[in-house]
Amino acid sequence: MQKVSSQQAIDTNIQAKKWWEREAEVQQDHEKGKNKWKALEHHGVTFFPAYQPHGGKPMDLTPEQEEICNWWAQIVDQDFSKKPLVRKNFEKSFIELFDQYLSDYKEIRKNRSTQEKKKEIEEKQKQDLIYKYCLIDGELEKISNIIVEPPGIFRGRGEHPLAGKLKSRIMPEHVTVNVGPEDPIPACPLGGHSWKRIISNPEATWLCHFKDERLEKSNNGKYVQLAADSRIKGENDRKKYEKARRLKKNIDSIKRNYQEKMRSQDVVDQQLGVCTYLIDKLALRVGNEKGEDEADTVGCCSLKVKNIQIEENNQITLDFLGKDSIRYLNTVEVEAKVHQNLKSFVQGKNPDDELFDRINASKLNDYLKEMMDDLSAKVFRTYNASVTLQNQFQEKDNKISEIDTIEKKVQFYEECNREVARLCNHQKEANKNHDEQLLKMKQVQTEKQEKVTQLEQELAKLKKGKSSNDPKLPKTVDLCLTALEKARAQLELQEMRVKKKDENKNLALGTSKINYMDPRISISWCKQKEVPIEKIFQPTLMNKFTWAMNIEPDYEF
């Protein structure tokens, strides 16, 4: 891998290969069929360093610590030790014995000089450099993750049956490596060890695969994948949005199709129709069935009777835990036929029974493919998110004007973004100091308001030829007007900040920006409104979406 010699050489190479400007070649690539590459060269994956015993020397338990460990060992198989309260109390006392070391360690790390920290990072980057890039058909490409996951405690979300189980240390013997048939097999970075298997699968884009054998069935392992700004990921991303645009083009006939479907005499068809209606209208996930060893969450097809309330006036309330055990709670009006069908699906069932008992995700996707080539349920989320953003820009356009500041325009963008996040139910945990912080900001707002009022009063006085004696206040009408204008602008900014703070309390805007909204909508809007794109996209997104940067200002999704 000659090209991986220095960071500068890499940057130059990466800059040089703009795949989106070489569409002809990209077209040719399709002739390769299912194959994603002919040559693939890389250095494999690195490993989490072996555990460093505390302070580099073996840590003997103090007699006190050892004795306490023994106490627990004596009762560990008794019912007593299974009681949550017992475990909680014991754990607390136990951890107190050890956490002094950890907090000391943390403190030492924190107190290193800025220079020292910087040097450490630079050295790490230098070490990682050869692992960070691969060669795909001769082109240098960035890799996203180059180290296997460290051993530790599994942190499942929500009520996960496996939460707290141990994740074992991944060794080269757990790793399968995918390289080109003519390319060198990467050297195993751990002496005395060797890779589990070397394969050459050009239909896959992953470089390494590793699996913790200890975790159960639903764990299908992890991959070393290309970075988001690589050609292959970029092409896939663009294809995703093009497919969503195709859905937009066909949406009328698709709507007619599922409307007809839910009017069928066949319950299977009714369920397919209603499910598609809900996925289209509410941007729900498809909802695959889940295993015993996974958290109990649902999506559209796996909704249970207890997750829906059929209300008056064609309203329904959906209340369920979705992906990541995030709660979805929404009361909406649906079409009369949908309401009627849902009522019949609920009829005679128990709360834990499936609402759509005759279908599943796979059948639903089969149905979607009858209507549009390549259509699957997730495309509706991409389509809905992108259309929502575009519509928000249009509907709210009168809220901003050319003379507005960049900050105000950016706030406007966020307002539109929030509607998308709401649609997709992208929630986050509120900052634990949120209320306190908001109060402080509101106080600042009040002060700014008072300042404006004060200046307004002073202006009135000055116009009558009078003046206050306060030396802080302007002495002429002109000066006062300038000051007032400034104060009003400051007040408006603060009001926007307060609003943003409160509205973003439980909403995560990042997810839709990264995964759902066609970046070309945002970029063309920025061009129209003369907002620098960096104000909307952080550096990683600027890189991820470079393929979309040359879009015209009048792009329509």
Partner DNA sequence: CGCCAAACTTAGGAGCTTGCCA
Partner DNA sequence: TGGCAAGCTCCTAAGTTTGGCG
* Burial of residue 521, with CB atoms counted within 10 A of its CB: 0-12 exposed, 13-18 middle, 19 or more buried: buried
From 233, 238, 339, 529, residue interacting with DNA (rule: CB under 7 A): 233
The reply on whether position 225 binds DNA by CB under 7 A is yes
From the number of C-beta atoms within 10 Å of its C-beta (0-12, 13-18, 19+), residue 185 rates as exposed
The CB-side HSE value for 311 (13 A sphere, CA atoms) comes to 14
Beta bridge partners of 210: 175, 222
Q: Does residue 437 touch DNA according to CB under 7 A?
A: yes
Burial of 303 (0-12, 13-18, 19+ CB in 10 A): buried
Site string for DNA, 384-413 (x = CB under 7 A): ------------------------------
- The 8-class DSSP code of residue 3 comes to T
Does 546 contact DNA by CB under 7 A?
no
Give the whole-angstrom CA distance, residue 515 versus residue 510.
8
443 burial type by CB count under 10 A (0-12 exposed, 13-18 middle, 19+ buried):
exposed
424 binds DNA (CB under 7 A): yes
Q: Does 325 bind DNA (CB under 7 A)?
A: yes
Nearer to DNA, 337 or 358 (CB): 358
Residue 508 binding DNA, by CB under 7 A: yes
Give the length of the chain: 557
Interaction mask 169-208, DNA, x per CB under 7 A:
--------------------------------x-xxxx--
Of 94 and 154, nearer to DNA (C-beta) is: 154
Contact between residue 4 and residue 171 where contact means Cβ atoms under 8 Å apart: no
Under the criterion CB under 7 A, does residue 149 sit at the interface with DNA? yes
Q: Does 499 bind DNA (CB under 7 A)?
A: no
473 belongs to the binding site for DNA (CB under 7 A): no
- Shortest distance (Å) from residue 137 CB to DNA: 15
- Total Cβ atoms within 10 A of residue 112: 12
- Residue closer to DNA (CB basis): 107 or 252: 107
Among 223, 277, 356, 367, binds DNA (CB under 7 A): 223
**516 carries an active-site annotation:** yes
- Segment 97-136, which members bind DNA (CB under 7 A)? 117, 121
Active-site residue, selected from the candidate residues 131, 383, 516, 555: 516
Q: Which is nearer to DNA, 481 or 514 (CB)?
A: 514
In angstroms, give the least distance from the CB of 350 to DNA: 20
The per-residue b/e assignment along 477-492, b for 16 or more CB within 10 angstroms, e otherwise, is eeebeebbeebbebbb
Contact set for DNA, span 360-379 (CB under 7 A): 361-363, 365, 369, 374, 376-379
Catalytic site positions: 516
